[in-house]
Amino acid sequence: DCQLGEGSFGAVYAATRLEDGQKVSSLSRTCLSPISDGYSKPLPLEVALQILANEGPRVEEIIQLLDWRVESDHYILVLERPVPFEELNVFLLQQMVTIQEDVARVIMRQATFAAQTCCRRGVLHRDIKLENLLINPDTLEVKLTDFGCGEFLNGVGYTSFAGTREYCPPEYYLTGKYHGEPATVWSLGILLFVMLCGDFPNRRDLRMINGNNWTKDGLSEECSDFIRCCLQINPKERIELEKLSLHDWFMVNCRQEEMRGSKRK
């Protein structure tokens, strides 16, 4: 129907699937990534990662791959196109000011679950950022998209980085190596910081965070602690990805519901 966006290695188009009229996104990408040979037919890495991320029970927080086609020099992904959805960075710009903590919590709970699900299914997304999260502005439903920078998750670690520089974990610059899950936690911390502070953390912010004495006016202590837990310079001191969804900040709404329930009794 029309072009939605364009990057260095491909373009995204809005389209309609002829067989049932479903609204979809068609992503055409140049074949630059390694070919995965773990399937019956060779697949571009992005296709294989998207298939893995969608395996098992459907997770609404991850964009669904509906079809794909591989040509000699490019491949095409047909993805669900939920309406109304927009990139999270566009949503934030329309707010005019930084969003409220309660809204950020709703978004982050879904982004964290999407990241955890990817890793559980053997996929390192490696580019979790505002532009790769789609949000329904009416319901605040969130979907993780664009696996073009991804890799299979491994326990050995990685010596090259693909993704967005501002979200790159510091251990890569310090040692030339990083591990998937701690790097994912770092990117989630950066994501939340940007949503609530309107910019990326500077060196002073990171020093204070690393010293566990960073706070921001208007934020709850639980929220500040969440950011501090994610953005520790030493990856071994960061909160584990699987424990992130159990952080006290995510428990606030649950406790409020319990209190309201006990009052009704």
d(CA 265, CA 258): 11
d(CA 245, CA 112): 7
Question: 180 labelled as ligand-binding?
Answer: no
- Helix intervals (H) in 29-150: 45-54, 88-94, 101-120
Question: 7 labelled as ligand-binding?
Answer: yes
The closest of 243, 254, 102, 129 to 190, measured between CA atoms, is 129
Instruction: Pick the catalytic residue from 102, 127, 199, 248.
Output: 127
DSSP strand pairing (10-16 vs 23-30) = antiparallel
- Residues shown for the chain: 265
Question: 72 labelled as ligand-binding?
Answer: no
Q: Which residues contact 151 (CB under 8 A, 6 or more apart)?
A: 45, 49, 124, 126, 158, 162, 180
Question: 6 labelled as ligand-binding?
Answer: yes
Q: Which helix (H) or strand (E) holds 203?
A: helix 203-210
Question: 150 labelled as ligand-binding?
Answer: no
Question: 4 labelled as ligand-binding?
Answer: yes
Clarify whether 20 is annotated catalytic. no
d(CA 112, CA 247): 11
Structure tokens at 119: 């890793």
Backbone angles phi, psi at 134, to 5 degrees: -95, 140
Task: Evaluate whether 105 touches 113 at the Cβ level (below 8 Å).
Answer: no
Question: 211 labelled as ligand-binding?
Answer: no
d(CA 130, CA 96): 16
Question: 5 labelled as ligand-binding?
Answer: yes
Burial of 252 (0-12, 13-18, 19+ CB in 10 A): middle
Question: 163 labelled as ligand-binding?
Answer: no
**Residues with a known catalytic role:** 127
Which residues sit in the known binding site?
Answer: 4-12, 80
Which residues sit in the known binding site for ATP?
Answer: 4-12, 80
